[in-house]
Amino acid sequence: MHIPDAFVPLWQSAIYWIIALIFIALALRWAKNELSEDKIPLIAVLAAGIFAIQAFNLPVAMGTSGHLVGGALAAIVLGSPYAAVFILTLVLIIQGIIFGDGGLTTMGVNILNMGVIGGFVGYYGYSALKSAGASMYLSAGIAAWCACFISSLAAAVEMAFAGTFPLVPGLIAMGTYHAAIGIIEGIITAAIIYFLVASRPDLLAEGATDPSGGGAAA
Amino acid sequence: MIDNKTFMIAGLIIAIIVGGLAVFLASGDPDGLESTALYVQGEKELTGPSPEDGDPEAIGGGTFEYEAPLPDYSTGEEGGKTGEILAVFVGILVMFVLGFGATKLLASKKTS
């Protein structure tokens, strides 16, 4: 759901950039306070891996394709929604500047949708589901689906403000396609967490690896 | 459990395999946002196939243009699949170095 430059008027892009910059500042503060050097391998691999898998568009029927976004994944394994803002911002900067995927003026709104909304929905969705007794993989899968779906509805509303898509058809189409794309998000997120737990459980946020519940908070 | 070096090398190799496969196997269909753009322009039914020559970005206002050095994960038309593989590999390595460097810079000497 990388929004290109042409889809948002410049003054609205500026507003989204300001909101994004506030969350980037909070994410940098989180990184400074909470991130230890032990996490370097995990973040380097997540940044490279999320970039690679975002290039892999899988067919989801309805003449549409989709790929993992990775905000929920980053937030769950690092135990904070700001981890998603941090990693997705890095990914979106490189995608926008080097590969022209997602605009430069619209990088702010893309960071807002995929990093901020994706990260917060993914993290708090995961925590809530786990507290309610769901298994960690099911919680991660459903939270990742919600992150994809809700981000897409946010994008539809932004497109309506921009005058690019009409509101209701935009919500229906974005919601329909991302309900399908979210299945990819859910399955791959759960699968990657499974492999991380199998290979390096110590790198994950405390509580993220506790299958008996208790939330993702460290 | 594997050590940090093995974890990072394994992670990079998996990312490179995924990126390499993406060049050959990724779907050419538009993504959800582009499909929505085609749908609201009346070029596509909601659940129908996407037109081969559809232009999702035609609906945009076009206020700003930027030419990326490796547009659409390629080195341009003449670069072909080799150019696309090169572009994806460059991206993966840049992301790895950036993720490593940014975290190193911010985390400084803290250990948990």
Residues of chain A found within 8 Å of residue B12, distances taken between Cβ atoms: 45, 48
Interchain contact, A98 vs B21, CB within 8 Å: no
- Report the residue from B32, B71, B91 with minimal CB separation from A181: B32
Q: What counts of helices (H) and strands (E) characterise chain A?
A: 8, 2
Residues B83-112, mean pLDDT to the nearest whole number: 91
- The reported pLDDT for the residue numbered B112 is 58
Give me the half-sphere count of Cα atoms (radius 13 Å) on the Cβ side of residue A127.
Answer: 16
Give the DSSP per-residue string, chain B: ---HHHHHHHHHHHHHHHHHHHHHHS--S--HHHHHHHHHTTSS-SSSPPPTT--GGGGS--------SSGGGSS-GGGHHHHHHHHHHHHHHHHHHHHHHHHHHHHTT---
Rounded to a whole number of angstroms, the distance from the CA of A202 to the nearest CA of chain B is 9
Residues B2-18, mean pLDDT to the nearest whole number: 95
Percent of chain B with pLDDT over 70: 95
Cα distance between residue A188 and residue A75, in whole Å:
14
First-to-last C-alpha distance (Å) of chain B? 18
**Which tens digits make up the pLDDT trace of B37-79?**
999 999 999 999 999 888 898 888 767 788 999 999 999 888 8
Rounded to a whole number of angstroms, the distance from the CA of B56 to the nearest CA of chain A is 10
A14 touching B (Cβ < 8 Å):
no
- The reported pLDDT for the residue numbered B78 is 85
- Report the residue from A1, A52, A100 with minimal CB separation from B19: A52
Interchain contact, B63 vs A173, CB within 8 Å: no
- The reported pLDDT for the residue numbered A212 is 47
Amino acid at A217: A
**Which tens digits make up the pLDDT trace of A106-122?**
999 999 999 999 999 99
CA distances from A82 to A23, A28, A101, A158 (A): 8, 8, 23, 22
CB within 8 Å of chain B, chain A residues 89-108: 90-91, 94-101, 103-105
Is the model's pLDDT at B14 over the cut of 90?
yes
ipTM of the complex: 0.94
**Which tens digits make up the pLDDT trace of A33-73?**
999 999 999 999 999 999 999 999 999 999 999 999 999 99
- The reported pLDDT for the residue numbered A215 is 44
- Report the residue from B4, B57, B91 with minimal CB separation from A6: B57
Taking a C-beta distance cutoff of 8 angstroms, is the pair A64, B35 a contact? yes
Interchain contact, A44 vs B33, CB within 8 Å: no
Beta bridge partners of A66: A58
- Report the residue from A56, A159, A162 with minimal CB separation from B22: A56
Least confident range of A4-18, A151-165, B76-90? B76-90
- The reported pLDDT for the residue numbered B71 is 92
3-state secondary structure of A171: helix
Is the model's pLDDT at A217 over the cut of 50?
no
- The reported pLDDT for the residue numbered B96 is 98
- Best mutation target among B33, B63, B88, B111 (most A Cβ atoms within 10 Å) is B33
Residue identified by tokens 């538009």 is B30
A157 sits in which H/E element: helix A136-162
Rounded to a whole number of angstroms, the distance from the CA of B62 to the nearest CA of chain A is 4
Is the model's pLDDT at A104 over the cut of 80?
yes
Is the model's pLDDT at B111 over the cut of 80?
no
pLDDT band at A208 (very low <50, low <70, confident <90, very high): low
Is the model's pLDDT at A207 over the cut of 80?
no
- The reported pLDDT for the residue numbered B69 is 93
